[in-house]
């Protein structure tokens, strides 16, 4: 997929990771968050990762590019998130990151909780899972709530995921403009 001047036009994942973690790192004397390889600051403490590939029919995998590094404590804090990927597993989506050598590590898991057809975006509530506690230095256990993820997609892929996600869910399925109960 080609990138344009508008990072959301081709699709993106925006995620704040975990607000308390971001504040902790920002409060360290040497705490930093560094972005590269196409990641941008998306506002309100969120980071944007460009969509690089969509796989499956119906869509089963959304691949995003870029690197986000949180560091501090003289290098003892080092949380590296590279090329996030959302992969469907039943009615859940697993979030993994590239660990090098063709190895991906699952760090979070969640379900689609909001659809916004006007913006071709979906929202996921996610919790730490898999290797997530290790990536975050053992400071958070599996099941810890993370910031919600928003995936903006080209319309054809959004429609495909929305059709599958809304099956069997109570009506009306919440959109980002509706309150969730």
Residue ranges of domains in the chain: 12-165
- The pair of three-digit structure tokens given for residue 146, joined into one six-digit string: 């993370």
Give the pLDDT score at 9.
55
Q: Which of 9-13, 65-69, 170-174, 176-180 has the lowest mean pLDDT?
A: 176-180
Q: What integer pLDDT is reported at residue 170 of this predicted model?
A: 42
Mean pLDDT on 74-78: 94
The confidence band for 15, taking pLDDT boundaries of 50, 70 and 90, is: very high
Write out pLDDT tens, residues 148-175: 999 999 999 999 998 888 764 444 444 4
pLDDT at 85: 98
Tokens in use for 14?
């925006």
- Measured CA to CA, the distance from residue 172 to residue 178 in angstroms comes to 9
Average pLDDT over residues 76-88: 96
Rounded CA separation 153/161 (Å)? 10
Longest CA–CA separation in the chain, Å: 51
Q: Does the structure show a pLDDT above 90 at 177?
A: no
Q: How many Å apart are CA 127 and CA 112, to the nearest integer?
A: 12
CA distance 94 to 89: 7
pLDDT on residue 100: 87
How many C-beta atoms surround the C-beta of residue 108 within 10 A? 29
Residue with tokens 């989506």: 93
| Residues 168, 130 contacting (CB under 8 angstroms) | no
Q: What is the pLDDT of residues 29-69, one digit of tens each?
A: 999 999 999 999 999 999 999 999 999 988 999 999 999 99
- Give the residue among 148, 170, 171, 151 at the shortest CA–CA distance from 161: 151
**How far, in Å, CA of 25 to CA of 72, rounded?**
7
Q: Classify strands 32-36 and 67-72 as parallel, antiparallel or unpaired.
A: antiparallel
The whole-number pLDDT of residue 125 equals 96
Quick one: pLDDT at residue 58? 87
Q: What is the pLDDT of residues 98-151, one digit of tens each?
A: 998 889 999 999 999 999 998 999 999 999 999 999 999 999 999 999 999 999
């Amino acid at each position: 997929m080609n990138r344009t001047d508008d990072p959301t036009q081709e699709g993106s994942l925006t995620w704040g990771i975990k607000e308390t973690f971001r504040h902790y790192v920002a409060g360290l004397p040497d705490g930093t968050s560094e972005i590269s390889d196409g990641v941008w600051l998306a506002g309100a403490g969120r980071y944007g990762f460009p969509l690089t590939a969509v796989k499956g029919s119906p869509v089963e995998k959304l691949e995003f590019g870029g690197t986000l590094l949180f560091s501090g404590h003289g290098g003892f804090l080092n949380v590296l998130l590279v090329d996030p990927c959302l992969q469907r597993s039943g009615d859940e989506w697993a979030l993994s990151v590239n660990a090098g050598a063709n190895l991906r590590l699952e760090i979070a898991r969640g379900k689609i909780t909001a659809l916004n057809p006007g913006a071709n975006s979906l929202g996921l509530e996610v919790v730490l899972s898999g290797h997530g506690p290790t990536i975050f230095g053992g400071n958070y256990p599996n099941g810890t709530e993370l910031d919600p993820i928003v995936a903006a997609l080209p319309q054809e892929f959004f429609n495909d995921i929305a059709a599958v996600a809304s099956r069997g869910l109570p009506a009306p399925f919440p959109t980002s403009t509706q309150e969730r109960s």
